[in-house]
Amino acid sequence: MRIVHLGLGNFFRAHQAWYTSAAPDAAQWPIAAFTGRSPGAAVALNAQHGRYTLLVRGPEHDEAQMIGAVDAAYPSNDHQAWREHLAAPRTAVVTLTVTEAGYLRDADGGLDESRAAADVAAWLRGDAVQTVPGRLMAGLAERRISGGGPIAIVPCDNLPENGAAVARVLFDFTALAEPALVPWIRDSVSFVTTMVDRITPRTTAEDVRVARELTGFDDAVPVVTEPFSEWVLSGVFPAGRPSWEAAGARFVADIVPHEQRKLLLLNGGHSLLAYAGSTRGHATVADAVTDPECRTWLAQWWDEASGYVPLPPGELAEYREALLTRFGNGRIRHTLAQIAADGSQKLPVRVLPVLRGEVAAGRLPAGAIRIVAGWIDHLRGAGAPVSDAGAAPFQARAASVRDVLALLAPDLAGNDALVAAVDHATLKPTT
């Protein structure tokens, strides 16, 4: 059996590959991993025969684990290997870590056709496709021809109902590019929904040195991660899967409470610190949570967001406590700039559900408003730098809160009290 993964980055290596390596049947589930954007990762990993060091970084010390779950890595442009792996009957599972932006969703969660158009045209010309929906479709088209049989697609990005989310963009893409394939996908592909969690910062030169010192192995691409890890999945695996539950993953019928808890409290809290916290001069999550002002803001946001997480209050209180400990791990250098990236894709899923719900209930939620205002400040040049392929139209309108809202959440832009509250929460020039 085999797993094919798309998005060979640090998070995948700290999470899905780690769970697979820790499963008792790991030997039967080698992973063929394809890079999403940085082909260099494949070269470096293959030079080490797929083995790498996971530095599990606790508040006091690092523990080095050698992970060998990846048996072959491929650059994103190896289209032939991609098609062959997806066509092979032994491939049973496709996992994805391609970031929120990778799915090419529009504001309603459908395929953003303007961003997909070049790829659809490439397919129709017989050229190689580059986007995530396009690559999935191309691989599945090959599988249909080869008679490879049913398969599970397992997205592992921070989107609510991510199984349905990837299904939607894949069906939209296929309807445009290869409509005859739609019924086969409907019958043969299972879309699994997941909640994934493990804080994984970028690797630094110092981390490379520490890994070498701990293991004696000269690893060019070690990964640093926190001790905590969570994986909750819901869905069907028609061709089997590793015993991930033996490594700590949980399989549940209703994933919504788990994903809301994580998306709103953890990821929403991260975005709050990334925008509002970085304007206070903080560079990392751990720095920001030592600031009493930022902790007050977090508590305020968590109070608001908790109303949207269908779990008992005791469980939420414990989760918040645990988050403060995780965020406060000063040995993890998780930069606010890394988290600030792709805000145009992240805010709609991490913050807007709470903002919308509160506004509909007649309230002006100060915590959610602070995140939106902090993001507008960031678009205007304050705090962490902007790194977001979808930012340009927002930056062009950043001078006006109402214009930004009209693009981000058109349903809210006519609310004068909200616009005034967001405007009031943005930074004012000091004269």
Nearer to ligand CS2, 158 or 234 (CB): 158
Verify binding: residue 328, ligand CS2, rule CB under 6 A. no
119 is a contact residue toward ligand CS2 (CB under 6 A): no
Residue from the set 2, 13, 57, 198 that interacts with ligand CS2 by CB under 6 A: 198
Instruction: Identify the bridge partners of residue 5 per DSSP, sorted by sequence position.
Output: 33, 95
| Residue where the block lists tokens 């090419």 | 104
Q: Which is nearer to ligand CS2, 2 or 346 (CB)?
A: 346
**Is there a contact between 301 and 277 (Cβ–Cβ < 8 Å)?**
no
**Site stretch for ligand CS2 (CB under 6 A), options 194-202, 203-211, 356-364, 383-391:** 194-202
Q: Which residues inside 340-359 make contact with ligand CS2, applying CB under 6 A?
A: 346
Q: How far is the CB of 199 from ligand CS2 (least distance, A)?
A: 5
162 near ligand CS2, judged by CB under 6 A:
no
Among positions 255-294, residues that touch ligand CS2 (CB under 6 A) are 267, 270
C-beta of 349: minimal distance to ligand CS2 in Å?
10
| Residue nearest to ligand CS2 as judged by C-beta position | 270
Smallest gap from residue 325 Cβ to ligand CS2 (A): 14
| Contact between 131 and 98 (Cβ < 8 Å) | no
Among 339, 355, 379, 391, binds ligand CS2 (CB under 6 A): 339
- Rounded CA-CA distance 369/29 in Å is 46
Between the CA of residue 257 and those of 73, 160, 262, 359, 380, what are the distances in Å?
35, 10, 9, 22, 35
Q: Which tokens go with 428?
A: 């004012």
Task: Work out whether 197 is an interface residue with ligand CS2 (CB under 6 A).
Answer: yes
Which of positions 373-392 make contact with ligand CS2 (CB under 6 A)? none
Interface stretch with ligand CS2, choices 36-44, 68-76, 338-346, 422-430 (CB under 6 A):
338-346
**How far, rounded to the nearest angstrom, does the alpha carbon of residue 132 sit from its chain's CA centroid?**
14
What separation in angstroms does the CA of 120 have from each of 37, 96, 100, 166?
A: 19, 21, 20, 17
| Cα–Cα distance, 406 to 266 (Å, whole number) | 26
**How far is residue 183 from each of residues 62, 141, 281, 400, measured CA to CA in Å?**
50, 11, 53, 46
Name the 3-class secondary structure at 143.
Answer: helix
Question: Cβ of residue 231: shortest distance to ligand CS2, in angstroms?
Answer: 10
Q: Which stretch binds ligand CS2 (CB under 6 A): 173-181, 197-205, 357-365, 419-427?
A: 197-205
C-alpha 25/C-alpha 247 separation (Å) is 10
Nearer to ligand CS2 by Cβ, of 54 and 418: the residue is 54
Residue with the two structure tokens 């709050």: 272
Using CA atoms, how far apart are residues 38 and 203, in angstroms rounded to an integer? 14
CB of residue 288 to ligand CS2, shortest distance in Å:
13
Nearer to ligand CS2, 143 or 270 (CB): 270
Select the span of 40-48, 114-122, 135-143, 192-200 touching ligand CS2 (CB under 6 A). Answer: 192-200
Distances (CA, A) of 297 to 35, 62, 133: 37, 31, 37
Closer CB to ligand CS2, residue 28 or residue 387?
A: 387
Q: Could you tell me which stretch among 27-35, 110-118, 196-204, 253-261 binds ligand CS2 (CB under 6 A)?
A: 196-204
Bridge pairing between strands 52-57 and 62-67: antiparallel
The three-state DSSP-derived secondary structure of 291-350 is CHHHHHHHHHHHHHHHCCCCCCHHHHHHHHHHHHHHHCCCCCCCEHHHHHCCHHHHHHHH
Query: At closest approach, how far in Å is the CB of 271 from ligand CS2?
Result: 7
Q: Quick check: 199 binds ligand CS2 (CB under 6 A)? A: yes
Q: Which is nearer to ligand CS2, 158 or 426 (CB)?
A: 158
Question: Which residue in the set 35, 158, 162, 284 belongs to the binding site for ligand CS2 (CB under 6 A)?
Answer: 158
Give the footprint of ligand CS2 on this chain (CB under 6 A).
Answer: 158, 197-199, 267, 270, 338-339, 346
